[in-house]
Amino acid sequence: MSSTLPAKPLLLYFADERANAERIAQAGALNLMPIERHRFPDGELKLRLPESLPQRLVLLRSLAQPNEKLLELLLVAQTARSLGAEHLTLLAPYLAYMRQDIAFQPGEAISQRIVGQFLATLFDAVITVDPHLHRVATLHEALPAGNTLVLSGAPLLSDLIATHHSAALLVGPDEESAQWVAQAAARHGLEHAVCRKLRHGDRSVDIELPHCKLAGRHVVLLDDVASTGHTLAEAAALLLAAGAVSVDVAVTHALFDSGALSLLRSAGVSQIWSTDCIEHSSNAVSMAPVLASALRQIETAAVGEFVD
């Protein structure tokens, strides 16, 4: 072990996440370099990392549309090790494949366990935001890397909501959202409640509103992730029919597909807010300062591995 403090870590990123990488690097005073990426006509990828790497390396990759990105992580991690990196941190503001934590039907792949183990073999530390965990208590159970940190977008979304509606009613669209709604509500002393959901398919749901006063309220639907928008749209329409003055939507991960925003608008949703964990036109809250702070925690732990 060396008694000399190692150089600070380098933050690597792909071109499609440059804006977020720059925000994080600025917030954390990090060095920043892109990964060169080329796609061959047959679809194969060629990646190129900087030739000279520090011992500690951070890779930013938010795992929306994850399948090809998981291959990128494999190529980057193994190449970085071959170039001398000794401690690799994955900064994944959105972490995919976390919802399938059991086999609901015989023969189903338990993707959370498989992908989690895969990432744990590549990275020494993983930082993410609001992973979609339900039947496991901690991220480390799903992703047994040496160090895992879970952050939440709920507090910052709560701050934003409070600037618009000081007495908003926060509502979760289903029981699974309860943890994030409660956290956001507690930050500013807001009232909160949760709907019940019966899902018939990816685009077909039935919603039962909570038993609380809705008439005359400014309601904000809050969740960790939204994709098709059908659950939120159904809840919004019911809330407005029950007398809500307005319904806004706030989510950590804007996985919205091409028709989601139009669907929400047609259901009567006024404002649609998200964090920048996934780049989207609805981004209204930057997680960069929180992510940079988490990286400093990982850095403090990692430096101890290299210094006597």
Terminal CA-CA length for the chain: 6
- Contact residues for 83 (Cβ-Cβ < 8 A; gap 6+): 49, 51, 52, 53
Nearest-angstrom CA–CA distance, 206 and 199: 6
119: Cα within 13 Å, side-chain hemisphere = 33
Residue tagged active-site, from 8, 46, 197, 213: 197
Does 213 participate in catalysis according to the annotation?
A: no
- Contact residues for 166 (Cβ-Cβ < 8 A; gap 6+): none
Active-site residue set = 197
